[in-house]
Structure 1
Amino acid sequence: MIIISTLITPLFSLKYIEVGSLTVWAIPFILIIISLVFISPTMLFWVGLSALFTQIFVWVFAPPTPVVVVDDSDYILRIGFLVIALVAAYYINRLYVDKLKENAYYTKRIHELAYHDYLTDLPNRVLFSDRLNQAILSAKRTNENFAVIFLDLDDFKKVNDTLGHDQGDLLLKEIANKLTETLREEDTVSRYGGDEFLVLAQNISAEAIEELPRRIIESLERPFDLEGQSIYITASLGVSVYPVDGETVDQLIKSADIAMYKAKKNGKSQYVILSQV
């Protein structure tokens, strides 16, 4: 369709040259300006090609006595101006498209930062709370249980103090990746803040509630390689179960937090399920 239009435009202009000779000069520039708003430069290319064809067709095939008499030098000048306009339009179009892409990137990034942790790219507490609330609403309809796990790294402050905050941040990223690999696809792992993580495990059986924190602890037993240096880290986990340990977002997180502190009292690399205490 675009190719046909490219060929029809100069033929149409040639047919009505006696009543529209002025538009042969003005319309190409108008079309070029309009085509600047298209993200793809394809439209600009075909509009420009059509405009050049129009000038050449009119130059070669125009009747000898049009309303506006022009000579060869005028057509050459027109074509030269069109070429300059097309080159300028191409670069303006690229700047326009690049600006659109840049704005789209920053809009997306702002949205991501509103709901994701800037360091690990995990869901932050806002997004986690929203998903936990959705899980509560779903569980009320289906009478299914789910668990919330509060994870706190043991002695993480020593990592920052001895290796520096950059290495500490790198370790947090590695732990976030390890948790994501360990959990099921339908589970949600969130960085709650500092060295604390939250896990939402939906549609989980009583046996799996026992197994999941053990599997998380075991996944952290292997050392993390930070730029050639092996780092060992453990974690204390607290587990709350809906609806036994709470029926709201705040209650479930607080119950899991209480269970986590009970686990810390028992030593490192431990977990406590609050409903079993």
Structure 2
Amino acid sequence: MHLNYTVIDRGDELSRSLAAKFHLLAGERGMIRNDARPNFVISIGGDGTLLQAYHKFVERIDDISFVGVHTGHLGFYADWKADELEELVALMAENEPRIVSYPLAKIELETANDKTCFTALNEFTLKGVDGTLVAQININDELFEMFRGDGIVISTPSGSTAYNKSLGGAIVHPSMESIQMAEIASINNRVYRTLGSSVLLPKHHHVDIISSKKQRITLAIDHISILRDDIRAIRCAVSDHKISFARYRPFTFWNRVREAFIGYDHQQ
């Protein structure tokens, strides 16, 4: 079976040189470069590079597996280091990978005229531009709270280690199909009262963020930022689609968490 692959690199000199080396090694192993319809997408750079690769191929997400090569610090999505390309290509050419799938977040924007859907790998962030964000929060079509504050973050399990963690949210294992809602600097007084802690929603539940006034807001779907003033409501739920990663050696999620935040040196 031929391997159809493409490489997305960060664009710096090291990443470009590693991409060229990967193409050379892959060609020697009979792998076929197919930039339009790959089955495997090799991301060379960091987690941000993999986010870009994901959004480039999001329309074909069910047919693709991703492999991450990091050129700096170890990433949550990158298994391989710069000096391991030969080993990676050899394993890809000779072995069937273990496919690991992570949940995604479905984000549906509603205006007076239409609805637009996005899918986030890490997180969806909503912030007020001209001051306080004012929104009604419904969970499963019932009023949950009235929110006033800087903004709201909806994260996937794999994105729970990013912005969500800095807001005091929980780190969630990607085997749990869920989304997490965390508050950014909420205002609590006699009129507005929020829960104050993050909320974890399972698959088939949804949260609606309903704009309580005409307001300019910035929306960020991973690294893609949008400024809008016509949003009526935003529905967030676990997507029916998942992102798949091709694993050629074990490196568990909790090992990634430990290495990213604690390190191997802190032994008791």
In the superposition, the TM-score normalised over structure 2's length comes to 0.21
Structure number having the greater strand percentage: 2
In the superposition, the TM-score normalised over structure 1's length comes to 0.21
The one of the two structures with greater contact order (alpha-carbon pairs below 8 A, sep at least 6) is: 2
Larger Rg: 1
Structure number having the greater helix percentage: 1
